[in-house]
Amino acid sequence: MKKLLPLCAVLALSACSNQPNQLILNPVYQGGKVSVINSNLSTSVIDLRGDNVTLKIIESDKTKTLASPGIADSVKSALDSALSRNGANISNLSTIRFELDIHQLQAVVTEKMMTHSSNATIEFGVRVVKNASTFNKNYQGNANLEGPLSHDRAKIEGQLNKLTEQIITRIVSDPELIAYLEG
């Protein structure tokens, strides 16, 4: 029994130190009403990235990559929330299709001896199909983060979540897109 207790403690501590091999992306639209979208929309989000790497960590002689499962569902949830808060009615029965393509969504972290930097890049393509016409536009953004020592994965997740929310806010407040939906 005395030998078992230290072994359990060591196992518990080692389990706490291991981070999962994935990045948790969960953007939440926190913006209020920034526009008026009086439309019924059927929404979809498609991940068109060439690879599913969401986080790339570059150290002196090696590179580690992490994916983010369910990224399309996470972005769709934030998009639907943003559209709804700005007056749109989300319905699978709608004849107006609002499609968002994820072209790029990745943070690249460069680890140095005493510092790290993170460069996040996101590009979304929006396509709205209404009657016989189509609206297409790309939205992109970058965010940089620097800090001492090694990176904190939660901060990188926060960086990507915040940038995703900012781009979605830009989408739902885009005067060209709103004019197209109202036309």
Neighbours of 20 (CB within 10 A): 8
State pLDDT tens for residues 24-79.
788 988 887 888 888 999 999 999 998 888 888 888 888 888 888 899 999 999 99
Q: Is residue 49 part of a domain?
A: yes
Query: Does the residue 63 lie in any domain?
Result: yes
Residue 151 CA, distance from chain mean position? 19
* Cβ contact 64:52 at 8 Å: no
Q: pTM of the full predicted structure?
A: 0.84
- Is 6 part of any domain? no
Q: Which domain holds residue 115?
A: 21-182
Asked if residue 52 lies in contact with residue 106, where contact means CB atoms within 8 angstroms, the answer is no
The string of pLDDT tens digits covering residues 108-155 is 988 888 888 899 999 999 999 998 899 999 999 999 988 777 777 888
Around 1, how many Cα atoms within 13 Å sit in the side-chain half-sphere?
A: 0
